[in-house]
C-alpha cells in the first residue's frame, strides 16, 4: 500500500483502471462459469437414467470447456501479473504507460496531427 501512495496521480489512475478491468473480467467470467455449471448440472439430471457415464457425457459441452479454460487462463495471467508487480517489474510498466500517455496528451511532433472537418481551415497563427 505504501508503494501505491507514493505513485504520481496518473500512475495511480492506471493502477485503478487495471484493478477495475480485472474485477470486471472476474465477475463476467465467474457469472458465465456459474451459468455453464448450472446448465451442465441440468443436463446431467435429465440424463440420469442413462447411468453415470451417460449423465456425465450429457453434461459436458464445448461451452463448459471453453469457460473453464477462460477461467484458468485468467487465473494464470492474474498470478503472473501479481508476481511481476511483487518483483518490481510493475513500476517499469507504469513508467512506460505514463510516458506514452504524456506524449499523447502533449501531441507527439512525429505524428500527423488530426485535421478539422473538410472545408475548414485552422485559424491558429
- Cα separation of 81 and 69, whole Å? 18
Of the candidates 65, 66, 67, the residue with the CA atom closest to the CA atom of residue 34: 67
Q: How confident is the model at residue 8 (pLDDT cuts 50, 70, 90)?
A: confident
- pTM value is 0.65
pLDDT digits (tens, 9 = 90+) for 73-85: 999 999 988 888 7
CA 11, 17, 18, 23 torsion: positive or negative?
A: positive
Query: Is 53's pLDDT higher than 90?
Result: no
- For CA atoms 73, 76, 82, 88, the dihedral sign is negative
Amino acid at each position: 500500500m505504501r508503494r501505491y501512495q507514493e505513485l504520481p496521480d496518473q500512475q495511480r489512475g492506471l493502477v485503478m483502471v487495471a484493478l477495475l478491468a480485472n474485477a470486471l473480467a472476474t465477475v463476467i467470467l465467474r457469472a458465465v462459469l456459474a451459468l455453464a455449471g448450472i446448465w451442465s448440472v441440468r443436463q446431467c439430471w435429465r440424463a440420469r437414467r442413462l447411468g453415470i457415464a451417460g449423465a456425465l457425457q450429457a453434461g459436458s459441452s464445448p461451452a463448459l470447456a471453453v469457460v473453464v479454460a477462460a477461467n484458468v487462463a485468467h487465473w494464470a495471467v492474474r498470478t503472473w501479473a501479481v508476481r511481476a508487480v511483487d518483483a518490481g517489474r510493475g513500476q517499469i510498466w507504469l513508467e512506460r504507460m505514463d510516458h506514452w500517455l504524456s506524449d499523447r496528451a502533449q501531441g507527439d511532433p512525429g505524428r500527423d496531427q488530426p485535421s478539422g472537418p473538410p472545408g475548414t481551415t485552422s485559424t491558429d497563427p
